[in-house]
């Protein structure tokens, strides 16, 4: 005896992605918490927010990103919020730890934030340039040699065969 056919359940009527109805505000503390929530738990929502702020597709390269951010108020506010959160979050966590009774040296916290930002930017630029140059040279030379040998050999063999056939015909 076969079990009765059970129809599949319909998809839920809600989506898990947020619908953006307003821009994040620099003056609303809940927007800072929302941004932290997006960064730590749903980073794709941050990407969706940036696409909502700037619907045109753009490549984030060089000075073009600075021009786009300087022309878009929402992206400028998002950049300001990320800078504020980068600096304020370690101090807020240190204060919370101090309230729990742990000793906190705020000079060390400030040095950690400054060195983290400095080394993060420096190493990301250095790594990006090193990987870009090394990868470009490596793949450029490798593909240049491979395609040069293949094309040169193929064309050389084809010309040789045609020349040989022409010589036999003559």
Nearest to 71 by CA among 87, 86, 97, 53: 53
**Tens digits of residue pLDDT in 40-94:** 998 889 888 988 888 776 666 667 777 888 888 898 999 999 999 988 999 999 9
Does the structure show a pLDDT above 70 at 18? yes
> Which pTM does this prediction carry?
0.59
Does the structure show a pLDDT above 90 at 95? yes
- Euclidean distance between CA atoms 18 and 39, whole angstroms: 14
- Euclidean distance between CA atoms 27 and 80, whole angstroms: 11
**Tens digits of residue pLDDT in 105-127:** 989 988 988 888 788 777 777 77
Q: Which residues contact 33 (CB under 8 A, 6 or more apart)?
A: none
């Amino acid at each position: 005896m076969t079990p009765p056919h059970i129809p599949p359940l319909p998809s839920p009527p809600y989506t898990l992605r947020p619908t953006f109805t307003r821009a994040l505000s620099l003056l609303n503390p809940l927007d800072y918490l929302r941004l932290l929530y997006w960064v730590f738990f749903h980073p794709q929502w941050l990407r969706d927010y940036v696409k909502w702020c700037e619907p045109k597709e753009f490549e984030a390269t060089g000075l073009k990103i600075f021009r786009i951010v300087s022309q878009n108020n929402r992206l400028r506010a998002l950049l300001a919020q990320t800078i504020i959160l980068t600096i304020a979050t370690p101090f807020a966590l240190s204060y919370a730890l101090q309230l729990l009774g742990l000793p906190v040296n705020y000079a060390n916290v400030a040095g950690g934030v400054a060195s983290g930002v400095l080394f993060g930017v420096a190493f990301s630029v250095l790594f990006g340039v090193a990987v870009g140059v090394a990868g470009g040279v490596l793949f450029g030379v490798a593909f240049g040699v491979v395609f040069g040998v293949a094309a040169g050999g193929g064309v050389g063999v084809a010309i040789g065969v045609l020349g040989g056939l022409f010589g036999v015909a003559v």
